[in-house]
Structures are given as structure tokens and as C-alpha cells.
Amino acid sequence: MIDLFAPIERHAVFDPGKIAIRFEGEATTYAGFAARVRAIAEAFAASGVAAGDRIAVLAENHPDTLAILYAAARLGAIMAPLNWRLADDELAYTLADAAPRILAYGPGYRERAEALAARSAGLALRAMGRGGDLVSAPDGAPPRRGHPGAECLLVYTSGTTGRPKGALISQGALRGNAVQSHHMHQMTAADHILTVLPMFHVGGLNIQTTPALMAGATVTIHPRFDPEATLRAIVEDRPTLTLLVPTTMQALLALPGFAAADLSALRALSTGSTIVPEALIEAFEARGLPVLSVYGATETCPIAAYDRLGLPRRVGGTGQAGLFSDIAIFDDAGKVLPTGGHGEIGVKGAIFSGYLDNPAATREAFRDGYVMTGDIGSLAADGTLTVHDRKKNMIVSGGENIYPAEIERVLSAHPAVAECAVVGWPDPRWQETPVAYVRLAAPATPEALVAHMKGLLASFKVARDVRIVDDFPRTALGKIRHDVLRQMAREGGV
């Protein structure tokens, strides 16, 4: 049976001395990594882990997170990476929902893991890393129960619209996702990937990291994003590909040494997770670095649409449907819209299987075989996808649909604006009107920012109120929490 771990084992045969993973000054070959995976799988099997069982991981980025994923895949089990940035009550909810047999924890997380285990009956703890007890045999021969149709990954949605749901992703979907990454990046075994985004999200785990291991490339892992360490790694370790989100891109640009740093080893920078300001992309392109946009969601593994390296970037778009993806735009009645129509983006192809123990939410997520993303988008005649906003972010004012992202693009172009977010403000006459929250990079008055918008937007789109803030409520990937801002607007807060 060809499971997700099989390519790792074959690389260990074809090129055993090739470096698979670099982490904190240590290098692990493909032969060594394959042995680690087998040993972990043997330990799990000895602990009674069976097909379909969950293994939770509470850790910053660590090679053992990847080893656990492939060990689970071999056994037909499922890895559930946990967001270590969540509060303990939030993690306890996730553990209760996932019901894992084992909680593996990384360096520095023993006390949190023990506290969580005390709230979860029957949960066994295993320590990751050197000196841990994740392995009971040096290199075992565990049973092989995995196959392409078996789920191997359980990733929880951000929960910005309610309790998070566990999205189940199969081994076959991850293989399809990897092929799309190879196509997007022209990725080969000669590549060297720098992973700095958290691997508890499908972005940090699956846009480049797991595809790189399938290709036989080398992956350098940082425990978490640090701008100075990231820039130093780009210059000194000379990776060929990396993935950043807008907040981490801004952090690099703000470093005093960025302008003079040697970026020549990078073939491309990939970005996504939210609508990326054009000025941010242009700042990296000005350094001669191609920027590739990628679009997707937890439920799409995540790669659904992308720019391909070597082809012209379509300004304002997020690429075209990938090799294993089909994208359609739906209206509220469930009808597929023609070219240019604005509606909810649906994705078919290498996508998730459904939500864990939640058939109602699973049925609601699908329409005619497409998973509905909750994003508003449109398709051009050439198939280029443009993402306009989150469906729940849309403001309805006097019968007009207003997409906050359009206003945010205009505001972001003002030289004094570092970052902004627009949400709906209740209005007795118009139902809602836009209000803008702005973090400044230079002095500016709200009146000046309103005047800027008036010159570039229809009058009904102009934010009626501009509120200056020091920072924003954010998700773990640094995305602005529009749901929190909407609540603040309704309560009159800042």
C-alpha cells in the first residue's frame, strides 16, 4: 500500500546521505529521518495506536512534528497539530473534540501538556526531541495500514466565527497538494526550503514543507518566526524558497539590514493567507525577488490557486486554479456565476474529507462537490482568481455591497498608513457604513485619510470614521481579526 511515508523511504534508499531537515544547527539525512519515523511509528503501535486514532502535537516548529505526521500516515492514524498560541481553555476544547490517544509535546511545553492531560482522561504524554520518550525502539518495523484514502491530518479552523472545527485531510489530498506545490514553485530535489511559519497551520506545513520532503529537497526549520533570524538565514543558509505572510513580510522590510541583504539565493517568495497589499509585493520585487501568490483555506489543504514561477504575475489576482483544483464562483442561490461575477469561491479537487464528528457542518460546507470557502471572489476570462474579501466581512449599505478589502487597498496606498482594517458600523439610515481602523507609519489625521479615500472611491464606500490604533487583534498567523473589530465598532470601542 503506497502511503504518504513511502516517498520518504524511497528517498532514503535512492539518496540516503541527502540532508532532509536542518534544525538548530543539526542536520538529519533522509536515511536518518526515515529511521526516526519508523521508530516513532513502532512506539505508537506499541502504545495501542490504531488506524483512525489521533495523535495531538503541542510544540513550536520541530522536526519531530513532521516525523509524527509520517509515522501516523504509516499506521493509518491522524496527527492533530495544536496552536500553542491558544489559551489553555481553548486547547482543552480542541483536545476534547479531537479525543487523541497521545499528546506529544515539544521542548518547553511539558508543564502545559501536563496541565492539559490532567483535564483529559486517558491521555498519554510523550516528550519530543532529544531526551524525549517518543521512541521506544531505535528503528522498528511497525505495521503498515496507511493508504491514500486514509485521513492523516486533523487541523482546526481558526474559529473566528464560532467554535473551531476539525478539518480531516487524507493522505491522497496531501499528495495532490504537494504536486500542486511542485508545479507552482518548479520545486525539485535541488531546492532548499526555509520554514518559519507555524506548522500547526496548513500553510506552514503544506505549502512548501511537506511538498519539499516529497520532492527530496532540504528543509531548514525555525521554531518560530523571528525577523532577524529569518533574514540571517536567507543570507547565510541561502535557501531557494520560503513562505511569508504580510505581517512577516512587513517585519523583514522594517529591518535596517534588509535593503543591503543578499537575497540572491531565493528563487521566489510565496505569500498568501489574506489579501496581500500590492505595495508590499512590489517592495520585494524591487529587490529582484519574484513573489508568488497562493490562495486556499484549511479545507483545501491549502493550495487551490497560485501564480506559477516563471510566468508573469497577474497584478491584483491570486493566480489560477492548480493542477488538481477546480474553482467556481457561486451566487447566494447556489448558481455558478459567469466570468466576472462576484460570489462565493468554491473549490473542488485535493480538498478535505469533512469535519470530525460533525456531519451537519460537513454537509453545509459542500455545494455540488465544491467546498465553499466563505471568500468572495471572481474569475477573469483567462481563469485568474481575484479574492475580494471574506463573505462575512461584506458591508451592506443602502442596498450596495461594499467590500472592506477594496477600501483597505486604497488606505494602504497612503504613505502614512502602515496597516488598516475596515468593518461595518451600524447606521439607522443605511443599515451599515464603513469604519476604518488604522495603524500609522507616520503622522496623519483621520480627516486627511478620509480626504485621501474620497479622491479614489465612490462616496458610499468612503469610511465615515477613521480610528487610529496602536495594533490590531490578530490570529496566530498575524491576520487581523475583523470579527473582533466589528464587535468593537458596535460597542463604540477603539
- Residue ranges per structural domain of the chain: 6-147, 192-390, 394-491
Q: How far apart are CA 34 and CA 3, in angstroms?
A: 13
Q: Is 408 exposed, middle or buried (0-12, 13-18, 19+ CB in 10 A)?
A: buried
Helices 446-454, 404-412: inter-axial angle, 10-degree rounding: 110
The pTM (predicted TM-score) of the whole model is 0.85
Phi, psi of 481 (to 5 degrees): -85, 90
pLDDT profile of the chain (494 residues), mean per 10:
93 98 98 96 95 98 98 98 88 95 97 95 93 80 93 83 84 98 98 97 97 98 97 98 92 95 98 84 96 96 97 91 97 94 95 97 96 94 90 74 84 93 83 90 95 86 92 84 81 57
pLDDT of residue 314: 87
Q: At the fourth CATH level, which superfamily is domain 394-491?
A: ANL, C-terminal domain (3.30.300.30)
Separation between Cα atoms, residue 40 and residue 32, nearest integer Å: 12
Q: Would you state the cell numbers that stand for residue 321, as one nine-digit string?
A: 486554479
The pLDDT value given to residue 161: 47
* CATH number for the domain running over 192-390: 3.40.50.12780
For domain 6-147, give its CATH number from 3.40.630.30, 3.40.1440.10, 3.50.50.60, 3.40.50.980.
Answer: 3.40.50.980
| Distance, C-alpha 191 to centroid of its chain | 21
Residue 431, pLDDT score? 72
SS3 413: coil
pLDDT in the model for residue 488? 79
pLDDT for the residue 1 = 62
What is the predicted pLDDT for the residue at 494?
A: 47
Does the fold of domain 192-390 match that of domain 6-147?
Answer: yes
Q: Which helix (H) or strand (E) holds 331?
A: none
Nearest Cα residue to 71 out of 93, 46, 39: 39
